[in-house]
Structure 1
Amino acid sequence: MSSVLGATVSGTITDSEGTGLENIGVTVYTSSYNGCGTNESYNIQTNSEGIYTVNDVPTGTFYIKTNSENSGFTKEYWATGDSVPDCNTAQTFQITSSDQTETEKNFQLETEATIAGRILDNQGAPIANIAVSANLVDNPCYWNTSGNGHVYSDNDGYYTITGLAVGTYYVATQNWSTGYIEERWADGGSVQNCADADPVFINTPGQDETDKDFQLEMGATISGTVTDSNGQPIANLEVNLYDTACGWDQKGSAWTDANGDYDITGLPTGTFFI
């Protein structure tokens, strides 16, 4: 005799024509910050008919998202009525007992759009392993915690963000550990001030936006030491740096070492709070 360890969550993933999609990753997850974060998660893939079933889900409040990387379809989040591409508008559902069955948590995915470009330094040489994110937001100075797409530049500096739905995106590099200044994409060249960024418009499913290039500069460094009231160093403490020019825009982060020392790199000119 088998025992039930938790609830069951199921649904169907289809394309815009209603055809079931096979091998689409699905994640049922908890988050402490709307649908954009992930704490505890449970993963599965759809079968040949596009059906997924996640078993042994404990009690709690959950979100669901698709993981459509390399599938040719959009990444979306579950919501009542229809799935959505913006993690901020994802909806939750409740599991209150181990014998609960949640059905029809369905998604309808569109053909993915892409945003691509190249990352260069100020001498025109390609930069590898720079994180690039596209965010489906109205304000270029607001950033989702996970983004709608997140990739790294390859050895030749090229990047392609996939799985994007129709919408307005802002694209940025995130270089806190590389020494390069974080920048946003703009028509005339990448910019350091978030308010100067330009949007990238995805108007139709399957649209490909190219040449969203960046030219990065090395930034300054802020260093310090964190101690307790007795002057003893505190290790493994996160130190964050903010620029208030764009509304508490986080510009850097570092963790203290065994001696309490930290270095925040890749900083532009400006006035900051730590």
Structure 2
Amino acid sequence: MWGRSVASMNRVKFIVVLICFTVVGMVGGGWASSVNAAPVTGRLTTAAGVAVPGEVLVWPLASRTLATGASHRVKSDKEGLYRLDLAVGDYYFLAQGEGLFAYYGRNPVHIPEEGSTLNLSLVPRPNDVPSQEMVEIDSGVVGRVTTAGKPLAGAIIFVYPDLSSRLKGAGLGMSAPSDSDGFFELPLSTGTYYLLARKRNSGQSIGPLAAGDFIGYLPDNPLVIKEETVARVAIPMLEVPHRVEKFAASLFGGSSVAGTVTDLDGNPVAGIRVLLYDEATMLARPLHVSQPTDAQGRFLLSFADGGTYYLVARAELGGTPQPGELYGQYNENQDHALTIKEGEQRQGVKLVVEEMW
């Protein structure tokens, strides 16, 4: 009798300890990811700004595909408002509605501790694909790019074999600019590809998008090209809003570098882009590229993480500097490095450019 009572008391103590441990663990954040989660809120609208209901889909940066397996899915209310909680990190955001689709133009986007507000503009899924008679290649993709239902000329389609490049830069290859009917063609071998379309009013093929430029993402990405077949697709384009320049200081994160580019005589140089790298050789694709410097030579770069970075100012993008090109590195110290703390907004950074020979 006494032995059974002792055993019962021990079991009660064990249960009490287990409950206390569980409560402490939950309060301390051991299991409750929501304790450390950052709130993400926003609204789904059409390109004209009309609120629409839909669903937001989120993939972490380490994802191998954006076709399936979204880590988070949340439906908006009838006014297009949504909210979800995410761990601090980088993510791809897409959205869908009835006959509508959206790819967030700043993807992948960094979500900080304090959270973010991300509004997504949805565009109609087009079905105006080129006819079979227009196909002149043996393998690859032909398509049409449109904006607000009308063909868009001058758009370049970029091809990426996977997500390793974050769907930025020149990728595996690119098409010639779309014609007046929005038509493009791109020979491709058998494989799986992501297609993004961009139109820069500056006429350049690479570099950051500015207000008034266009971006488009194939809703059916990734696209599978089979042997000796030609896929026919339609890519909807969305104009980059003017507010993108208003929020340039925090567009890609809470850390930033601002300064001026001058020539050897100290005169400001306009039209120069500043490139941000995280490795000293500066041979890989830059992490970020600024808009062209203004008449006072001013530039601004925003990014998410603190760290050691390397800056280059140059007139042209892509490849090695050519003779006659204006070019210059950050030279305030011997190793050309610039250390920025996360959340720091460094001002007064100076770069000097000169002609390469």
TM-score by length of 2: 0.35
Instruction: Tell me which protein shows more helix as a share of its residues.
Output: 2
Q: Which has the higher contact order (CA 8 A, sep 6+)?
A: 1
The structure with the largest alpha-carbon Rg is 2
TM-score by length of 1: 0.44
